[in-house]
């Protein structure tokens, strides 16, 4: 790449400095958005995991009345 001599200003150094400044400012501006997106993703993952756990519990347990007794049946999956 050819360099251009312009007296007092070094265009390559000026461009590099401008890029670094823009990158740091863009990262600073994006940080709250990224943080919010991560929080929302975590909430959704927790919601889905909770639903899966509740689904497994509902599939494994049943409660029945038997006269004056209450019977709780727990199904055990014996897969290897």
3-state secondary structure 19-79: HHHHHHHHHHHHHHHHHHHHHHHHHHHHHHHHHHHHHHHHHHEEEEEECCEEEEEECCCCC
Domain residue ranges of the chain, discontinuous segments joined by +: 14-74
Of 75, 50, 52, 53, the closest CA to residue 62 belongs to 75
25-71 residue pLDDT tens: 999 999 999 999 999 999 999 999 999 988 888 888 888 998 999 99
> Residue 6 — very low, low, confident or very high, per pLDDT cuts 50/70/90?
low
Instruction: State the burial class of residue 10 (Cβ atoms within 10 Å of its Cβ: 0-12, 13-18, 19+).
Output: middle
pLDDT at 51: 93
More reliable by pLDDT, 6 or 59: 59
Q: What is the pTM of this model?
A: 0.52
């Amino acid at each position: 790449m050819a360099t251009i001599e312009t007296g007092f200003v070094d265009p390559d150094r000026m461009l590099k400095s401008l890029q670094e400044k823009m990158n740091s400012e863009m990262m600073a501006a994006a940080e709250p958005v990224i943080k919010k997106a991560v929080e929302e993703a975590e909430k959704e993952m927790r919601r889905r995991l909770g639903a899966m756990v509740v689904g497994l519990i509902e599939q494994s347990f049943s409660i029945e009345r038997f006269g004056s007794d209450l019977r709780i049946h727990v199904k055990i999956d014996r897969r290897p």
